[in-house]
A and B are shown apart, each in its own frame.
Chain A
Amino acid sequence: MKPVFLCGWVVLIVFLFANSYPSVQAGFKPDQVKAAYIYNLPNFVSWPDFQETAGEDIFIIKVLGNRSIARYLEVLTQGEKIKGLPISIVYIDSIYQARNCKILFVDNSYEDAVTDGQLADLANNGILTVGESLDFLKKGGIVGLVPVDKRIVVVVNLSMAQRARISFSSKLMKVAKVFQHEQGEE
């Protein structure tokens, strides 16, 4: 039995060392920064139908397909309010669960599966769609959190925002880039 024990402990030790991930953080994780952006967005966005639907008592942010971002958002929004409303973060994994929210984040792994028609439909319902690429904006998404040289840049699709009757504050527009349709070609 002894050699077996020895082998076992060698395996154990190997696994322990194999498991040493680099613990030095060179910067923030993209998902953390994206969550912070999403958390900040409502301060710079106005939804015209907010008055009409005064009956709403909760500000819902849905996250399609990215549990990390959903969790970061939960931490960021804990005990906070947006436009005077308590916040609910809902993780979903199908575009068909995307209705009934103010902001929808679409993970890039789902961008292919989401159609132009669905994005237009969401815009018609006043939902601010947030994605991670220019392709997403090309399809009809409203805001892109796009990685450019190690940074995450906000890109806005103004025509789709108009369709959703969403307007952005000048403060956001100073930082954001405006999506031009030619940009969609990668």
Chain B
Amino acid sequence: MKKSFLFILVTLACWMILAIFRVPFVESETIQDKGLLYLKNLSISELASLEVTSVSKTQERMADADAAIYVITSEDIRRSGLTSIPELLRMVPGLQVAHIDSNKWAISSRGFNGWYADKLLVLIDGRSVYTPLFSGVNWDIQDTLLDDIERIEVIRGPGATLWGANAVNGVINIITKRAQETQGGLLKAGGGNLEQGFGGLRYGGKIGTVGWYRVYAKYFNRDAFKTKDGHDAKGEWDMGRAGFRADLEPSVHDSFTLQGDIYSGNTHDYFKDLPSQKSPFNDDVKTDLDGGNILGRWHRHLSDTSALTFQVYYDRTERRSIYIKETRDNFDLDFQHSFHVFKRHNIIWGLEYRLTHDNIPTSSVFIFDPKSRTDHLYSGFVQDQISIIKGRLDLTLGTKLEHNDYSGFEIQPSVRLRFKPDKYQTFWAAVSRAVRTPSRAEHDMNFVLRRFEIGPSKNILLLRGNRDFDSEKLIAYELGYRIVPQKRFSFDIATFYNVYHDLRTTAPGPPESGDELFHEQNVKVIPVNIINRYHEDVYGIEVTGTVQVTPWWKASASYSWLKLNLHTKRTVMNLEVSEGSVPRNQFSLKSYMDLPHNLQLDTLLFYVDGMPDMHIPGYTRLDLRLGWNPMKNLSISLKLENLLDNQHQEYRSIGNLAASEVPRSFYGKITWHF
């Protein structure tokens, strides 16, 4: 079967070469430039008498999107005063964001929240940061200079047809600004009680006449939270990071992007009663985090309705603590082509290949078999947006076919329908299938849950991967409506009904000898096997509205409601599938006010329902930010977080990780543009 994929790749290569060579025959730069130079020499009255062709634009407006989409803008980033990407996601309706400890978050879309929430795909400038080890996102290493983020697009619901497996309940696209838009210098520094000290420096300049670059460096040091009874919960962390981005536009048609980051830092965790007997018992566990990535992208604008994108990246991550050491290298090739045919069809298709190689040495609690593994992922997708009634009714059909080394072939189709009764309103509906593919851990892991001795035999309760573990599957039905009238007001509602099959759970297996696995005598293993069993329905509503109350005051409110309905009896191990493990109601409010004397007063309010199965009560969080621009290029701000209580818990303790509570905090910041 692999040969046929090889064939597809060869075909792709041939096709790309042909496509590129065909371009000059279709619409060359010289013809376009000549056309423009001709126009340049026309007088304004001649311009007024010129006939033009009518071409519809491929660019989609967010207001027209046929999905539940929410965009965090650079204004939101600046005015919220939040200092990390995970915290920014709190403002998105339908997302569950919980701070576990100072350096860990549980973030999911439409339920199933956990430390490694596995149904949400996250990309930074087209680079997937979803880890194939545990399925999920290591939020502690996902960062950049927040001032350089153009927007964060959050799509709730399956995005698998375009984005691939694991985009089951949502996709988060973090998009940084082009280097053109970050010219000049920026220096910022600040600190407070939790944010003990942070700083960032960026400088952007030109490369000849056709290119731009920026370089940046940032550092932060965050303090630990406290436990319920006021003890230090550990969790303090610090990280330094540097990177660059260069954008070259040598012609009207081509743009090239080269970007990269490197980072280094460490986190601390407080573990209680670890099952390890072999290693030195240690409740303060330090994890070293290092990594880097480099990405190149070439975009060719073939015509107003057609474009090619070719992207390649390499990403390395290292995570080292006494309990787990993981090094991982990802290499990815991605190709996309969009074009119009027969006037009504807007087609986009693409191919992707990804290689991931890891090395996980045996520790006192983790034994991976094999220790090192190389996996290949091949995928292709095609999507056709058919304009049934021009500008009114569109039907989008698409599917993704991918092959991975764990569950083999996966097909992820979707059908979307969009109706626009006028230019302000959009109704949309969609049915999609998506899968969450097995992780390396679910196949190959042996994790020591507990060790105990009975007589001469050493007993080990072992959470064990399963080679037959299959993908988790979703069929999602979605319906939404959005209105963006001319002035000052927008409103968006999305509803969904998700049907899941083969969700993960665990089942105990018969005891067996563990002498071979642990290289010890008289070891009896009591396995707890990872299996596919649960069948669950989830449904919910997400509403958001924005009002520009006056030219100086903008306010926005969001509400979401979520219900889980598990059809299988739950075991103790799988809390995240239970009804009582998600906040049923969530509400948020944001308000940005421009006051006289260059002052800004910004407010964020979040209400999150309790999670009875986790014994987490509901909480209300209020944040205030006061900003002042004494000069055009200087801004000073003061941010107060979590004003309403001393501290509150947002997520349960996980395994042996001590539970900690989010405290009230403040910081001051100064930003200078030069």
Contact = CB atoms under 8 A, between A and B. Distances in A.
A21 B55 CA distance: 13
B551 A120 contact: yes
B389 interface: no
B466 interface: no
Contact of B424 (A26, A27, A112, A115): A112
A76 B36 contact: yes
Contact of A23 (B27, B249, B301, B548): B27
A151 B306 contact: no
Contacts of A150: 51-52, 54
Contacts of B209: 78
B7 A8 contact: yes
Contacts of A74: 249, 252
Contacts of B61: 109
B7 A5 contact: yes
Interface in B61-86: 61, 63, 73-75
Nearest to B485: A112
B646 interface: no
Nearest to B209: A78
B488 interface: yes
B181 A90 contact: yes
A35 interface: yes
A116 B487 contact: yes
A4 interface: yes
Nearest to B345: A18
Interface stretch (A9-17, A47-55, A156-164): A9-17
Contacts of B486: 112, 135, 139
A28 B44 contact: no
B39 A33 contact: yes
Interface size class of B (residues with CB under 8 A): 35 or more
A92 B18 CA distance: 34
B484 interface: yes
Interface string A15-41: 110110101011111111101110110
Given A36-B39, A120-B551, A21 B26 contact: yes
The listed residue with most A CB atoms (<10 A of its CB), out of B8, B35, B45, is: B35
Interface in A46-74: 65-68, 71-72, 74
B306 A21 contact: yes
Contact of B249 (A36, A71, A151): A71
Contacts of B468: none
Given A115-B487, A117-B551, A97 B48 contact: no
B393 to A, nearest CB: 19
Interface string A134-163: 010001000000010011111000000000
Interface in B195-215: 209
Nearest to A152: B52
16 contacts: A4-B7, A5-B7, A19-B341, A26-B51, A26-B53, A28-B50, A31-B304, A67-B301, A71-B249, A78-B209, A91-B181, A97-B74, A112-B423, A117-B551, A147-B52, A152-B52
